[in-house]
Amino acid sequence: MAQARPGAQGAPTQPPQDAEAANDPTALARQFTELAQRSSQLVARFFERTARDPAGIAQDDLGLARAFGEALTRLWGDPVRLAQAQMNLWQDYMQLWQSTWLRAMGLQAAPVATPTQGDKRFKDELWENNLLFDYLKQSYLIAARHTHGAMAGVEGLDEATRRKVEFFTRQYIDALAPTNFALTNPEVLRETLSSGGRNLLDGLDNLLDDLERGDGSQLRISMTDRTQFRLGENIAVTPGKVVFQNELMQLLQYAPATDKVLRRPLVIVPPWINKYYILDLREKNSFIRWAVSQGHTVFVLSWVNPDATLADRGFDDYMRLGPLAALDAVREITGEPDANLIGYCLGGTLLACTLAWLQARGEAGRVASATFFTTMLDFSEPGELGVFIDEAQVEALERRMARRGYLEGHEMAATFNMMRANDLIWSFVVNNYLLGRAPFPFDLLYWNSDSTRMPACMHGFYLRNMYLRNALREPGGVSLDGVPIDVGEVRTPSYFLSTMEDHIAPWQSTYAGALLFSGPVRFTLAGSGHIAGVVNPPAANKYQHWTAEGELPADPQQWLAGATQQPGSWWPHWHAWVSEGYGGGEVAARTPGSAAHPPLEDAPGSYVKAVAEPSVAEAK
């Protein structure tokens, strides 16, 4: 589902040492010897793994050779355009030389290139105050701008190839930033001099830890101090019970916080790409705890972290054993014939499919209202994620999943991280490996790193029918459990929440999905991105949201032009919509479970604690 932006970095791995200890040749030699031994062991393990599984050697599944081959052929085939691009690049460099000489002589000179707003890579003051580092910074920014412009401007490419070239050109540019190298990063140089090079040895130690966590064949960059979090202790701590479970999910019901609650229960269907507790991180930012405090009887599905035994479970299995099974259990526990449902991202796509399935069977009344967080139903414009989804890539992915029975969680996480490489990859490379520091303990990044697997059958169905065929928007384009479904027939009152800076589910695409329904639809747009825009408690007083009354126009920009901007969180706006329109009045507070469904264990349950990768200690 989603990736998170990093928080503050720079927590030291160990307490600062004095200069004498940092430069102790005996201690440094001992550490270097230990690191050399670990490195040799990792190399040996890598070759053993490669010999056992030669198919695991990296292939060009992304089709980059073909895409860049075609782009470069067309670029070289237009000598006039290429010459103009080279001339523009030369002119910028000449201006940089001139401004640098002026500054060297003590004169004022305007910069030729400056970092974009929000670019945190060049925050060290030496990037601006030191002549050499300022020249290095501007030289990189000039080259980056012209390289990206030349490759993104190649004419004659089909849209899919153009997007692929543009995206991976940006990855190449970001990787070559001077901040990513020890000799060209002033902060790293300063740390190296002050510690006698201890930071580089500590960084190598961190690098080996991450390689070992990837079994020696893959680098899994640590984004947070994983030892600082314990599910049910300092994260995912809202009181509740597991009241039902099957092979795909556990159903959690939370203890009431008010004497009276809304009659209709609230059921949350999270995505199974990540774990549900993004909505229950800590007390101060838990949507689940907040909803409970507003008088909702909250249930949430906690999906299993699947292994090869669930390889044949499909999308319709997730519907039957997920929201449909949850609705049955909630009705038996509360005695209510219907419920309000929330679906987040992929969970929202499943929720829409469930609504259409219920509509086709004449059972739409089981859901009183539906809320969709950053959910795509029309996949015609999938955003940057579309770079990774075409026929060739899906076929390659299906071959890999067929060997194991599932998609590894870290493989999908790596894809999401590439979309924000400077924030989610290179900042940690600098912090962990060059500065030799441990990543800061940050709850959101802990959740982001707690990846889950995808069953082969389900994931193949989802990619082909949603992304490749975009079949969900077509009447009868998708069949689930033997029933052709049509989301256009859904009349359930719905609330769509999207976010302005969402790079996983672009808000214009989620808006197009909202237009598919036949029932009343309320659309709300929040500030920030896929995670921060959703997990935005009112007490934080952050960001803003846009709302509008009446029918949705066909053009999302027309909707935005007529919408009213409100400060702060969208949570109260949604609660007013669901409680006043579909709450059903009040009843006495409900304790978790019932005679038919006695509590099985405390929240957060056992399913959420299953990990998709070994810890560093286990890898060692």
Cβ neighbours around 138 below 10 Å, total: 23
Q: Are residues 256 and 220 part of one domain?
A: no
- Cα separation of 47 and 24, whole Å? 35
In this structure, is residue 10 part of a structural domain? no
Q: Are residues 367 and 298 part of one domain?
A: yes
Q: What angle do CA 64, 67, 69 make, to 5 degrees?
A: 100
The tally of domains found in the chain comes to 2
In this structure, is residue 222 part of a structural domain? yes
- Cα separation of 501 and 543, whole Å? 12
In this structure, is residue 392 part of a structural domain? no
What rounded mean pLDDT belongs to the chain? 89
Q: Are residues 169 and 34 part of one domain?
A: yes
Structure confidence by residue, pLDDT tens digits, 541-580? 999 999 999 999 999 999 999 999 999 999 999 999 999 9
Residue 561: give its domain's CATH number: 3.40.50.1820
Question: What residues pair up with 12 in beta bridges, in sequence order?
Answer: none
Q: Is 353 a catalytic residue?
A: no
Q: What share of the chain is helix, strand, coil (3-state, %, to 5)?
A: 50, 10, 35
Q: Are residues 174 and 80 part of one domain?
A: yes
Q: Are residues 445 and 461 part of one domain?
A: no
Q: What was the pLDDT predicted at 218? A: 72
Structural domain of 109? 19-227+398-449
Q: What is the mean pLDDT of residues 386-411?
A: 90
Q: Are residues 574 and 444 part of one domain?
A: no
Asked whether 457 and 210 are in contact (CB, 8 A), the reply is: no
Q: What was the pLDDT predicted at 234? A: 94
In this structure, is residue 216 part of a structural domain? yes
Structure confidence by residue, pLDDT tens digits, 303-345? 999 999 999 999 999 999 999 999 999 999 999 999 999 999 9
Q: What was the pLDDT predicted at 617? A: 33
Q: Are residues 172 and 105 part of one domain?
A: yes
In this structure, is residue 9 part of a structural domain? no
Q: Is 366 exposed, middle or buried (0-12, 13-18, 19+ CB in 10 A)?
A: buried
Q: What is the value of pTM for the model shown?
A: 0.88
pLDDT surpasses 90 at 249: yes
Q: What was the pLDDT predicted at 47? A: 58
In this structure, is residue 608 part of a structural domain? no
Q: What was the pLDDT predicted at 36? A: 67
In this structure, is residue 586 part of a structural domain? yes
Q: Which is catalytic among the residues 221, 298, 333, 345?
A: 345
Tell me which residue of 50, 70, 178 sits closest to 124, measured CA to CA. Answer: 178
Cβ neighbours around 453 below 10 Å, total: 27
Cβ neighbours around 268 below 10 Å, total: 28
